[in-house]
Amino acid sequence: MKKVFKVPTKKCCGSQKLSAVSDLSFGLEQGECFALLGVNGAGKSTTFKSLTAEVTPTKGKIQIGGYNIQKDFEKARQLIGYCPQENLLFDTMTCVEHLKYYAQVKGIPRNLRESIIEEAIKNLGLNEHRDKLSKNLSGGNKRKLCVAIALLGNPSIILLDEPSAGMDPESRRFMWSVIGRIAQKKSSAVVLTTHSMEEAEALSTKMGILVKGGIFKCFGSAQHIKNKFGTGFVIEFKTRTLEEDELEVIKERYMPNGRVMIDKFD
């Protein structure tokens, strides 16, 4: 797939071509989780917009469940669950009302809606917020609600555009466990974008890195990418404050002619 935009120039009535995604190609099976990494402007969101037919690729073909989305999007969209980068929520609707509304939009049979909605609320930890207006939710809970909407109906492919953005570490870990359970069921394929290598390693079976201009720099498992592009190690360690008698031992052993100075900060 390739996507090129025409961008106006400073010259009168002029424009230039800007490549947002260049010759991107990958395939997934059910149960796989694919992480798309890259800095802002690398082409991640454009890729998602192409997968959901929000924009039309300049060149190439996209198939979901055997359907060409340019020709059979009405059939293909029934297989897609999508959580966009922005929280597209209605300020005056509660969590439950959002889920009821989107369950109806997705065509979930009326007799199954209540049980599916309750399962989504439970899985995303939204029970205590179920009757809150979305405008009163925290940023992390808004993302949880958007992911819950994407998961309604158990779609074949789930597209998550930075699902853990704006979350605190505890909520982020919870979101990872939710996405991990989806992949373990092997009923859906998951594609997610992220800035975090840690998140990609925790969730994905495959990952790809996009660079500016939408060029695929590398593709494969986390270990394959580390082996090919890794340049060193990151070591984290914690220290504790030494007692005065411990400092004296260090002074006598390593610098008998020196002097130990202790600065204390509040």
Q: Is 143 exposed, middle or buried (0-12, 13-18, 19+ CB in 10 A)?
A: buried
pLDDT of residue 261: 58
CATH number, domain 28-239: 3.40.50.300
pLDDT of residue 260: 59
pLDDT of residue 170: 83
Distance CA 264, CA 216 (A): 51
- Domain ranges for the chain: 28-239
Tokens describing residue 57 = 């690729």
Cβ proximity of 193 and 44 under 8 Å = yes
> pTM for the full model?
0.76
pLDDT of residue 117: 93
Residues of the chain with pLDDT under 50: 265-266
Helix, coil or strand: residue 212: coil
pLDDT 10s digits, 9-37: 766 666 777 777 888 888 888 888 888 88
Q: Give the list of residues 6+ apart from residue 133 with CB closer than 8 angstroms, or none.
A: 91, 92, 93, 94
pLDDT of residue 135: 92
pLDDT of residue 266: 45
